[in-house]
Chain A
Amino acid sequence: MKKKSLTKSQNEKWLLRLYVAGQTPRAATAFNNLKVICEAQLKDNYNIEVIDILKNPQLARDHQIIAIPTLVRKLPLPVRNIIGDLSNVGRVLSGLDLEYYNESNSR
């Protein structure tokens, strides 16, 4: 069972959304941190969407965003939320379930 879902998530392309509010230094830090992590863990198997809620506040309401920056893992399911500038790599990895992903990949 577990293996099946894992293989599925392996093949699936990751969809990550990063919500920011304007071009702030913290937004830039978050984006860079995310980029580094994704490159290291997922190679090309991911997409990052950056949503600036300043430009589209209605999206913040629709997606229930309050903290900035917020990283949302839309795919694979289940949805995961990580808030902050993603400077703590360990937390990001555990938040995105990437530790497990890598373990199973390397096996």
Chain B
Amino acid sequence: MDLRLTREEIAFRDEIRTFLCENIPEAIRNRIAEGRHVGREDYVTCQRILNAHKLATPNWPVAWGGRDWTPMQRYIFGEEVQSNNVPDPLPFNVAMVGPVIIAFGTEAQKQRLLPPTANLDIWWCQGFSEPGAGSDLASLKTRAVRDGDAWVINGQKTWTTMAQWANWIFLLARTNPEARKPQEGISFFLVDMSTPGITVRPIQLLDGGHEVNEVFFDNVRVPADALVGTEHRGWDCAKFLLANERSNIARVGISKSRLRRIRALARAVPAGDGSLWDDEDFRHRVLQVEIDLKALEMTQLRVIASEREGSRTPNPASSILKIKGSEIQQATTELALEIAGPFALPYHDPEAEYPDGANDLPEGFGWADTAAPTYFNYRKTSIYGGSNEIQRNIIAKMVLGL
């Protein structure tokens, strides 16, 4: 047992860190560190820089522009991206639909779609959830009916993240309503958002921002090759996709970066005759979160080490990453809210532009206005990707045998 990074791993980490700091625009990294709005162009800029250096899709096979990295190298890369405040390569493209196309797509689909997916020329969004199908995803009602050499799609998707910026959507639709089990009559489609009949309606979240949408399908005709994999077997693709989505789900790097900022801000915020950091109770609350995060990081590393050791069955500890990771992310937003104190109150439109490092906002401290919106926004982390209650159901059944 040796829990230190090897010399090679440290060199790899330093190389990635240097690359990110030298190549990803500082203005974008600062905006992320401050919890400010990041626009579509920022994501595209960063992903294209990464892609030009074959760093956008390291998890893909080498033949499709991936890297033959060890699980530890992949982890280090993800960790460096997050803790240096670089936007993750768009997960819908890189972690979700890309691997599905690679695993289930035809050669023609791969040739046509993978290069623009890697370069973010195509921005994908995910059409899974529906108003009546959240945790119970298999009960989805969107229909796709074969009509000659086309499919006709009708229905509604919801919670579709960044659909307003997307030009393609991957979605699950029911193709056989008579199937014995609900999972067995579902197919997986790739759809160009400019196809007539698609409407996107924004849903404003508690932070005031526009992050998710409803997407409506009204007699949307798509070509036969919009189908990926076997007809009626889309659930296989969905399960494969959701398994991939788990990687870096703990988001340790993001929480680390947020805790570094919390320490710096607490030292800068006046309280009494000194700063908030002089308050032992506050410091102890920060430490408790840091300890929890250190334990989670070690848990994550145990999972990665068992992957490398070639274990067939996943390490049971992997199942706690989503629950604990989301709880810690939420705890960091609570600490930031506490630092902001009364200066958390003034509302600013999160998508409005203002100068970098603005300290002359009409009310309060320049940085404090993101505390409450981030706190509100991060409540999503224990809800999306399978709510923490669903995660507990799964662990109880699959790991504990209850």
The answer to whether A and B come from one shared complex is no
Residues of B within 8 A of A (CB): none
